[in-house]
Homo-oligomer: A and B are copies of this chain.
Amino acid sequence: MQLFRSVLNEVAVSKGQFLLKPGTVVKHEYFVVKGCLKAYYQDAKGNRHIIQFAIENWWIGDFDAFLNQIPSKLYIEAIEDAELLSIHYDNLQKIYNEAPIFNRYFRILTTKAFIAQQKRILSTLEKNTKDRYIEFCTSYPNIELRVANYDIANYLGVTPENLSRVRKTFKG
């Protein structure tokens, strides 16, 4: 645990700042101590698709680019001023070698993230926009107060206009 702490670095970003932009070879993953961030992909048409929101106690990064040490395709941007802990790729490899138990920690972490994503996929397959919005709000409590409407729409895969209309149907 001391070893782990020794390789974590404190990072502060303010709202609107980027932790990562496409094309960068990704050297860090980030743990959110405070604040809120989004990871998104911008396609050829300029549409943004939110892969992940990260709030307190979540990890965020481009796991594909990080694992395979290839250039990223994602943006990671702070939606609120945020405090993070970062871990460098080389240090993480060092930790895996020196304290293999961390493989277990990250194995379980990754499995949980995998399961969460699977739920998201199922939700998309099964439910309509309204129900997915409600599910989203309950699984990320109070997130709708911290995140712009259009970002939630981009997460759910609908337009902001449609989400706005959908929200009207169950507010009073």
- A interface, CB within 8 angstroms of B: 41, 43, 47, 49-51, 63-64, 67, 96, 100-101, 103-104, 106-108, 110-115, 117-118, 120-122, 124-126, 154, 157
Contact = CB atoms under 8 A, between A and B. Distances in A.
B114 A47 contact: no
Contacts of A100: 100-101, 103-104
Contact of A49 (B101, B107, B122): B122
Nearest to A102: B103
B157 A49 contact: no
Contacts of A96: 104
Contact of A122 (B41, B110, B112, B125): B41
A92 to B, nearest CB: 11
Nearest to A154: B125
Contacts of A112: 67
Minimum-distance CB pairs A-B, first 7: A103-B103, A107-B107, A49-B125, A103-B104, A110-B110, A64-B115, A125-B157
A41 B47 CA distance: 31
A112 B66 CA distance: 11
A117 B121 contact: yes
Contacts of A43: 126
A63 B106 contact: no
B118 A121 contact: no
Nearest to A43: B126
A63 B103 contact: no
A71 to B, nearest CB: 15
Contacts of A115: 63-64, 67
